[in-house]
Amino acid sequence: MKIAVCGKGGSGKSTISGALARHLARQGHKVVALDCDPNPNLGISLGVLREEVESMSPILNALIDAGHTHKDPKIEAEVLLDRYGIDAPEGIRLVATGKIERPSNACLCCGSHNTTRQFFGELPADDRIVLADLEAGLNDLIWAKPGPDDVVLAVTEGSAKSVEIARRACRLAEELGVKRIIGISNRTVSDVDAKRIGEELGVEMFTVPEDRAIEDADHLGIAAIDADPAAPAVVAIGELAQLITR
């Protein structure tokens, strides 16, 4: 199974991706976590130490540094995962597509998007779960190009702008033929809010509550699931893991 997590900047994509990957791994699934943000930080939400996250070689950067050009034969996604992935807790393999590190006239994010497409498209997922934490907005969703057998999570908090981007993500996913689209109402403070968001998105919905423990863990730079496994949002994301794999 492949899962693409999308939504507006700051809606909670990485928080949800990190805790979801951990819960899925705890349920016994083999999980590959793809950090598709050119400012990668999914590792923190997964429970990887900050120094290790910083020392990771995102695929695009590693290939460019090694002198690889687009004229060279394409390297298989599985080989790249082996070479540039790092081990995260619970047996999860984490890999980042690209990282903006220095000023350049070239557009790094185009290469990063392309790597996202290669990874999300080509990594076999028959006996494992490939979970992609996409770059904010809609562009990366088009690049990842999820299909009928994939799952799309459209994450939104309560603001009208965030809900609108999630709504557009749902429509794009429908156009791509995705059958399982789940709207995630994150940082939910009231049932009324969740209901309103559900009506706007028009897809299956799941609610993650506003939870101070998530913010506290983020301020310490650690994963919420490690800081406070019983926190309501962490528990809710565990239920989301059950729902997705049921």
Ligand X SMILES: Nc1ncnc2c1ncn2[C@@H]1O[C@H](COP(=O)(O)OP(=O)(O)OP(=O)(O)O)[C@@H](O)[C@H]1O
Number of shown-chain residues binding ligand X (CB under 6 A): 19
List the alpha helices (DSSP H) in the chain: 13-26, 42-46, 50-55, 59-65, 77-84, 108-122, 139-144, 160-175, 191-201, 212-220, 224-227, 232-245
Q: How many residues bind Mg ion (CB under 5 A)?
A: 2
Is 14 a binder of Mg ion (CB under 5 A)? yes
Mark 76-115 with x for binding to ligand X (rule: CB under 6 A) and - for no binding: ----------------------------------------
Q: Say how far apart CA 85 and CA 62 lie, in whole Å.
A: 11
How buried is residue 20: exposed, middle or buried, by Cβ count under 10 Å (0-12/13-18/19+)? buried
Beta carbons of 31 and 93 less than 8 angstroms apart: yes
First to last CA, the chain: 12
Q: Which of residues 26-45 bind ligand X (CB under 6 A)?
A: 37
Smallest distance, Mg ion to C-beta of residue 13, A? 5
Q: How far apart, in whole angstroms, are the C-alpha atoms of residue 50 and residue 150?
A: 30
162 makes contact with Mg ion (CB under 5 A): no
**What is the distance between the alpha carbons of residues 141 and 119, in angstroms, rounded to a whole number?**
13
Does residue number 11 form part of the binding site for ligand X (CB under 6 A)? yes
Site string for Mg ion, 28-47 (x = CB under 5 A): --------------------
Partner touching 9 among Mg ion, ligand X, none, CB below 5 to 8 Å by kind: ligand X
119: which strand partners? none
- Closer residue to Mg ion (CB): 14 or 162: 14
Identify what 10 binds: ligand X, Mg ion, none; CB under 5 to 8 Å per kind: ligand X
CB of 61 to ligand X, least distance (A): 18
Taking the CB of residue 68, how many other CB atoms lie within 10 A of it? 14
Instruction: Identify which of residues 63 and 228 has a Cβ nearer to ligand X in the complex.
Output: 228
Handedness of CA 114, 116, 117, 119 (dihedral sign): positive
Given a contact cutoff of 8 angstroms between Cβ atoms, the answer to whether 19 and 225 are in contact is yes
Quick one: which of 15, 115, 116, 118 contacts ligand X (CB under 6 A)?
15
Sequence-ordered list of residues with C-beta below 8 angstroms from that of 165, at least 6 positions apart, any chain: 7, 8, 11, 137, 138, 156
To Mg ion, the closest distance from the beta carbon of 14 in angstroms equals 3
> Which span (13-21, 102-110, 115-123, 199-207) binds Mg ion, by CB under 5 A?
13-21
Among 57, 215, 226, 227, binds ligand X (CB under 6 A): 215
CB of 171 to ligand X, least distance (A): 19
**What does the binding site for Mg ion look like in residue numbers (CB under 5 A)?**
13-14
